[in-house]
Amino acid sequence: MRLIPLAAALLLAMPAAAQEASPAPAPRVSTPFTLRSEQPLAPEQQAVAFDYARLAFRVMPESRTLAGDATLVFTAAAPVDRLSVELDTVFDISRVEIDGQAIAPSAWRNPEGRLTVDLPSPLPAGGTATLRILYAGAPRTAPNAPWDSGFVWATAPSGEPWIATAVQGEGCDLFWPCIDHPSGEPELVELHITVPTGLAAPANGVLLATEDHGDGWTTWRWRARRPNTYAIALNIGPYERVADTYVSRFGNSFPMEFWHLRSDDPAKVAALFAQFAPMLDFFEATVGPYPFGDEKMGVVETPHLGMEHQTINAYGNRYRIDGRGYDWLLHHELAHEWFGNQMTNVSGDDMWLHEGLGTYMQPLYARWLHGDRYMEAELKEHRELLANRFPVVSGRADVNYFDGDGPGNDIYYKGSLFAHTLRMLIGDEAFKDSLTRLIYGTAEPRAGEIEPLTRTTEDYVRIVNEVTGRDYGWLFQGYLYNAALPILRQRREGRTLELAWETGDGRPFPLPVEVEVDGRVITVPMTGGRGSLSVPEGAHVLIDPENKVLRQSDVVDELVAYQRSGR
């Protein structure tokens, strides 16, 4: 999903590892339709299954252009008389075919970026149609990858072209004809990427072959199953590959691959690659089997910061050491193989399932490696970055989380802190069980028998309730469906301490609270959102001594106000 924005706070001064190539002529401008991902599906898109995509690209670094040849196979679930896919209007379409027959230009149109093709004859339910599109042009250059999407045209330190795509925010249609929606995953994709000979093109899935055509061009062929639409990625550069085999705790094994620049320091490459296996072991122990063990766990170095491109995650953290004891970017993008690529949100309103749960894996990994102090340090960072302006879950399927009324970075940090509160409330065993069921649809996933699935927030509420045997809908409601954090009111009179929860919507919030009285911890049941306990006069009282509960904090509010004041 779009990269964890904590990088913006931690890495404000980021030295350039690549020099940008000389400016190219101004390309055509993408339409507003294209630049908004996850548009409502057209009726004909809802009526078909996306079976297969063969995507052939020729990438021309000198002109910063792309020639594409896309063959897409659909099966109709209901009768349709046309097919629709999204494709940026910056491309010139030279030919459209249905089942091998050219379609007259009058039978297709692409005014805003939704290419609609009239079928020669209606396709009945169960029927299959093959749509082929030939197109070429200058794809959108990313203004600020990975946050603003498109192609990144750069030059490696050794002088060769260094190119990447990052299209999560604005969508797959920036460079290939797709159904730009979480439900638009093709069952199988073959990538044929033709690049100047001497450059490598690592991509999603399994490498089938490379073919040097003897004319200065080489084609790299890859095959991937069920990739997220925005996770299909082009990566082109002077790469070398370091690889090993990971032996899983679930009895299977698969390749680990790191495609890095040839100019990189071998010691830094080796140190980063040494982190792959421990991270995989953590995720398999905490969530379940690596979902793509029939392909690979892959990472490629990119001229932008990073992105969770299924089985070929983009890595641009430049081997930085920040005192965490692990590379946070490598870990975050790997988390998305579970939270995003295996389990995909139904709509943008459920994006916190990717980003919040994925972000929470980092404090858990810090604890796995170094203990509670390191976990708490990361959670403190998350707490100080909350905005609390808009709900994490709004109830609107068309929400864009970085729009003016979207939750923004709260999908990362509030989602993470909510997950911590949930784990503290229901316990480690139930929390792990809930994640496993959310990700795989079963409590006992088996390597080699894993199918990607889609989820909503309501799905996770249901799963938590099933695992615990209790209704925790109020917890999700209080944290995720309200912009403001719950406030814990406290009043102490004589020997009585009274506590009361106050939520943004005023609904009951019976979250128990731990209170430390002169070093002794007491759990206060907050039936109906209220509770009380007797404390000796003069006793030292500390609310929530282990910071298990996410709530409004005067200390954090004061810090945020101070920072915003410019002082």
Residue with tokens 């100047």: 196
Do 462 and 515 lie in one domain? The reply is: no
- Cβ atoms of 127 and 74 within 8 Å: the answer is no
Chain centre to alpha carbon of residue 2: 5
Give the Cα separation of 150 and 236 in Å (integer): 14
Instruction: Determine how many CB atoms are found less than 10 A away from the CB of residue 391.
Output: 24
Q: Is residue 30 in some structural domain?
A: yes
Positions in the chain short of pLDDT 50: 1-20
Angle, CA 497 vertex, CA 491 and CA 499 arms, to 5° = 65
Q: Is residue 315 in some structural domain?
A: no
- Cβ atoms of 505 and 486 within 8 Å: the answer is no
The one-letter code for the residue type at 127 is G
- Cβ atoms of 460 and 468 within 8 Å: the answer is no
Q: Is residue 254 in some structural domain?
A: no
The one-letter code for the residue type at 472 is Y
Q: Is residue 283 in some structural domain?
A: no
The one-letter code for the residue type at 489 is R
- Tell me which of 455, 483, 511 is where a domain ends: 483
Is residue 400 packed enough to be buried (19+ CB in 10 Å), middle (13-18) or exposed (0-12)?
Answer: middle
Provide Rg for the chain, Cα atoms.
25
- Cβ atoms of 80 and 123 within 8 Å: the answer is yes
Continuous H helices in 449-535: 457-468, 473-480
Q: Is residue 556 in some structural domain?
A: no
Q: How far apart are the first and last CA of the chain?
A: 34
Do 456 and 545 lie in one domain? The reply is: no
Do 429 and 450 lie in one domain? The reply is: yes
Do 216 and 363 lie in one domain? The reply is: no
- Tell me which of 432, 456, 483 is where a domain ends: 483
Do 14 and 145 lie in one domain? The reply is: yes
Quick one: pLDDT at residue 38? 82
> What's the domain count of the chain?
3
In DSSP notation, 159-215 reads: SSEEEEEE-TTT-GGGTS-B--SGGG--SEEEEEEEEETT-B---SSEEEEEEE-SS
Quick one: pLDDT at residue 19? 42
The 3-state DSSP class for residue 465 equals helix
Do 394 and 531 lie in one domain? The reply is: no
- Tell me which of 204, 238, 272 is where a domain ends: 238
- Cβ atoms of 57 and 68 within 8 Å: the answer is yes
- Give the CATH number for residue 454: 1.10.390.10
Summarised one tens digit per residue, pLDDT across range 415-424 is 999 999 999 9
Do 157 and 27 lie in one domain? The reply is: yes
The one-letter code for the residue type at 219 is T
Residue with tokens 């005023």: 506
Kindly tell me the number of DSSP H helices and DSSP E strands found in the chain. Answer: 12, 28
What are the strands of the beta sheet with 487-493, ordered from one edge?
A: 487-493, 496-502, 530-534
Give the pairing of strands 239-247 and 253-261.
Answer: antiparallel
Do 39 and 176 lie in one domain? The reply is: yes
Domain encompassing residue 500: 487-549
- Give the CATH number for residue 493: 2.60.40
Quick one: pLDDT at residue 1? 47
Length of the chain in residues, anyone? 567
How much is the pTM?
A: 0.93
Q: What is the 3-state secondary structure (H, E, C) of 240-280?
A: EEEEEEEECCCCCEEEEEEEEECCCCHHHHHHHHCCHHHHH
Summarised one tens digit per residue, pLDDT across range 347-375 is 889 999 999 999 999 999 999 999 999 99
Do 376 and 509 lie in one domain? The reply is: no
Do 158 and 230 lie in one domain? The reply is: yes
Do 491 and 370 lie in one domain? The reply is: no
Quick one: pLDDT at residue 67? 98
Q: Is residue 296 in some structural domain?
A: no
551: β partners: none
513: β partners: 524
Chain centre to alpha carbon of residue 121: 39
The one-letter code for the residue type at 234 is L
Token pair recorded at residue 221:
């062929």
- Cβ atoms of 454 and 344 within 8 Å: the answer is yes
The 3-state DSSP class for residue 75 equals strand
- Give the CATH number for residue 25: 2.60.40.1730
Quick one: pLDDT at residue 404? 73
- Cβ atoms of 161 and 199 within 8 Å: the answer is yes
Q: Is residue 523 in some structural domain?
A: yes
Give the Cα separation of 71 and 68 in Å (integer): 10
Q: Is residue 203 in some structural domain?
A: yes
Give the Cα separation of 360 and 4 in Å (integer): 11
Do 143 and 62 lie in one domain? The reply is: yes
Give the Cα separation of 251 and 267 in Å (integer): 31
Instruction: Determine how many CB atoms are found less than 10 A away from the CB of residue 449.
Output: 9
Quick one: pLDDT at residue 332? 98
Give the Cα separation of 456 and 351 in Å (integer): 9
Angle, CA 299 vertex, CA 293 and CA 301 arms, to 5° = 170
Which residues 6+ apart lie within 8 Å of 154 measured at CB?
18, 19, 20, 21, 161, 162, 163, 164, 303
**Shortest CA distance to 218 belongs to which of 189, 238, 192, 240?**
192
Give the Cα separation of 201 and 234 in Å (integer): 7
Give the Cα separation of 368 and 543 in Å (integer): 26
